[in-house]
Structure formats: structure tokens, C-alpha cells
Homo-oligomer: A and B are copies of this chain.
Amino acid sequence: MQLRTVDLIRKKRDGGELSAEELRFLIEGYCRGDIPDYQMAAWAMAVYFRGMSPAETADLTLIMAESGDRMDLGAIGGIKVDKHSTGGVGDKTTIALAPLVAAAGVPVAKMSGRGLGHTGGTIDKLESIPGFRVEMAADRFIDQVNQHGIAVISQSGNITPADKKLYSLRDVTATVNSIPLIASSVMSKKIASGADGIVLDVKMGGGAFMKTWEEAAQLAQAMVDIGLRVGRETVALITGMDEPLGYAVGNALEVREAIDLLKGDGPADLKELCLALGAQMLVLGGRASTAEQARTALEELIASGKALKKLKEFIAAQGANPTIVDRPELLPRARRQIAVKAQASGYVTRIAAEEIGLAAMRLGAGRATKDSGIDLSVGVILRKKIGDAVAEGDLLAELHAGEAGAERLEPIQRQVREAFEIGADAVMPPRLIHALVDRKGIHRL
């Protein structure tokens, strides 16, 4: 019997479960242009209200993963483990984490994306290293991983075109906020990227897409479930995004902070997140039997300078000058530093991460739309984090700005100042690692 799109929309509208064949008919028909946007929009809204079963979500993911180019990592020895973050402010984890786990012997063959809106993207950050090449042919990418244990490139133009087309439609039809659609979008790209194992960093809190524990836990579970159903070992950490990660927000500024981390310095929260995610990667990659063991190994790689050496090797392999690791002042620098000062005394009780991300975007560090240009040197450096004591007049943050005049900077200054909430009572720094989600369920940490 001939499938009809309207019948499939009705089935989902009425709470039914589409079969893999029915989903394939929808997604492939949509990609070919046989099924119009308006029918997919109605289906997506029906999914928003009715959800999808775990089997349906996994089927959709695989069909989208198979819709375009797929990276074949078979020529790389060992268990390849990928990492993905759902997006936060100041999240430069990959830049430190990739060489760190590569130094531990887990091959890193990673495709990353660019930033949009208030969250940054790893590819933009890497490009702030002068000469760093983020595009290369697949065979060269594979060769580099085999030779150096690490390569990071920009997502290919034709990876998961079904997801790209569907996401653009969801964006203008108020159907983005659906857990199974978000989960299948993320996982389709990870699966097409070819890794054997996947470690997910699901951000939760004011600066994240998922604002609440319930949403973050559902998304993490949905993604882990997809991974396991399609035969990719997958775990997720649910981590806090109640304030920006680390102190630096902005491309070159964040690279510098990631370098500091591998030198044994760097912010405590960034280090904690890198060790927690890295430990899961080592376990999935068969380089440690427990997370505790893995963590010890990673700390030793930092302390011994081996992780930093791997970062230099990585930068050189991608065509840039590794000298910037020893002399980070060679990274692009913004022309002006503008102080943001406290107008009251007390303790920092809250930093609205999304506002800091938007302020950095307004300075030129991020894109308001896909086609905006960015300035790799600009951004915001926090000088206080939640829990810190401040006196009136203390430096809360610095804007690193380009040529913009004072009349344009003043509102950004205010935005950053107002992102800080200063209260009378001391508070604890917010919890960073909330839970681990694996094949056995959710484990609160």
C-alpha cells in the first residue's frame, strides 16, 4: 500500500508510533523535495505535542545520519571516542580536552561546528590560532589521526543534510523545543561522524538550552538511548551552566584559557569538567577501567606536560605555529580593555551566563545570524565568579573590544554589569557535575 504523508501526520497527531519505513518515507521524501515544508512543519508540531517513542527517535536519527556524507573511521586503529556539548557560554573544553585524551592514547577524530547566538563554537575558537586549518580532505584527516592521534575539522557541508533542512524548518515554526527532535538532531551528526563511543556534555541552567533538571535529564537519557540502540557506546554528563565556564568568553581569549589549563593553571571549573568528561572518554576508549583511574592518568598527563606537548603537536599538524602555546600573547588581541565595576559590595550570587554570551556576541565574538562575520580577538573576561566577595568599585569583568565607539560599548558594559547579582550573604559556587547517564540509568553525582 502506498504511503501518504497526510496519513503519517495524522498517525503522529493521534499519538501513534511511526515505523522505520514510514519515517524513511517522510525524511527521504522531504530531502528529495517530494514532501513539502508545510507537511513536515505539521508533522514536527505533532511530534512536539505527542513526542516519539525511543525506537522512533533512534530510527529517525539513523535515517538522518544516513542522509548525507558519513565519515568512515575504520582506517584508524583503536576505539574512537567523540565528545559533544549541547552548548554553553565560555565552553572551551574541546580545545584542552582533545589533546589531553589524545595524550592518553584515545584517538580523537572530531568534527566540530561554528557558534551561533550566545554560544560559541570550537571551530571559531581554533581559527583564532593564526594559520590553523579547519578544513581538510577525509584521507588527510584520517592520516593525521593515525600519525598524531588527533585531528579536529569543520563539519562537512553535506553531513546530515536531512537534519540541516529539518532544523531550519523547526527554527521558524516553533518546533525546536522537542526533546526527541533535539536528541535525534545531535546524535545524527555524531553518528555520521563515525566515532565508536560518544561522551555527551548536557548543559543545564540559565546559560544553557535546557533550563531545568527535568529537561536536561530527559535529553541526556534520550541521547544515550539513541546511541545504545544504534550500537554506539554513549554516556552523558549533566553539567551546570549557571555561570560561564571559566573566566574567558570570546574566541582567542578562550584558547588562551585552554592553554593555561594544560599548563597546570586555568580555572577550577574548567579543569573539573575536562577531567570528568575526559575520564568517561578514557573508559569508553578502553584506556582505563574506572573513571577514578582515568582521572588520575589525566592529571598526570597535565602535570608532566605531555598534554601540553600534544596540543603543540596538534596545532602544528593543522598548519599553525605551535609557538603560540608558549607565547599566547601572539594570539589576536583586542584593541581596548574596558572595565566593568561593581556598584555595590557583597557576594556574587548569580551571573546570567546567557547575558554574558550575548554581550560577547555584541562585541563581535559571536554571530547573531548564520552569515554574520566575527572578530576572533574580542570578548569578555570575568574577574569574579559566583561565591566571590566584591567591594564597590571592584573589577567584575573586562570587555575586550575592537574599534567600536563608547556609545556602542556603554550598553554592553551595562549588560555585563547587570548580569552580576550581588547579595549580602555568601553563597557556595554552583554545583558543576550533576549526574552521569549511562546504559544503567541516571546516577546523581
Q: How many residues of A contact B (CB 8 A)?
A: 24
The CB with the most chain B CB atoms within 10 A, among A40, A171, A173, is that of: A173
Contact B6 A46 (CB under 8 A): no
> Is A373 part of the binding interface, using a Cβ–Cβ cutoff of 8 Å?
no
Stretch among A31-39, A287-295, A305-313 lining the B interface:
A31-39
> Is A169 part of the binding interface, using a Cβ–Cβ cutoff of 8 Å?
yes
Q: From B36, B46, B48, B173, give the contact of A174 (CB < 8 A).
A: B46
Contact A172 to B37, CB < 8 A, known contacts A44-B42, A49-B49: no
Copies, count: 2
Complex Cα gap A140–B6 (Å): 43
Contact A9 B173 (CB under 8 A): yes
State the majority secondary structure of interface residues on A. Answer: helix
User: Besides the contacts A6-B171, A39-B41, what 17 more A-B pairs have beta carbons closer than 8 Å?
Assistant: A5-B172, A6-B173, A9-B174, A13-B45, A13-B48, A36-B37, A39-B173, A41-B41, A41-B45, A41-B173, A42-B44, A42-B174, A42-B175, A45-B46, A45-B49, A46-B174, A49-B49
Contact B172 A39 (CB under 8 A): yes
What mask results when residues 154 to 184 of chain A are scored 1 for a CB within 8 Å of chain B, else 0?
0000000000000001011111000000000
Residue of B nearest to A49 (CB): B49
Which of chain A's residues 1-19 have a Cβ closer than 8 Å to chain B?
A: 5-7, 9-10, 13
Residue of B nearest to A12 (CB): B174
Residue of B nearest to A13 (CB): B174
Complex Cα gap A9–B48 (Å): 12
Contacts of A44 in B (CB 8 A): 42
Residue of B nearest to A47 (CB): B45
Contacts of A173 in B (CB 8 A): 6, 9, 38-39, 41-42
Residue of B nearest to A7 (CB): B174
Residue contacts A-B, CB under 8 angstroms, 27 given: A6-B172, A6-B173, A7-B174, A9-B173, A9-B174, A10-B174, A13-B45, A13-B48, A36-B38, A37-B37, A37-B38, A38-B38, A38-B169, A38-B172, A38-B173, A39-B41, A39-B172, A39-B173, A41-B45, A41-B173, A42-B45, A42-B173, A42-B174, A42-B175, A45-B46, A45-B49, A46-B174
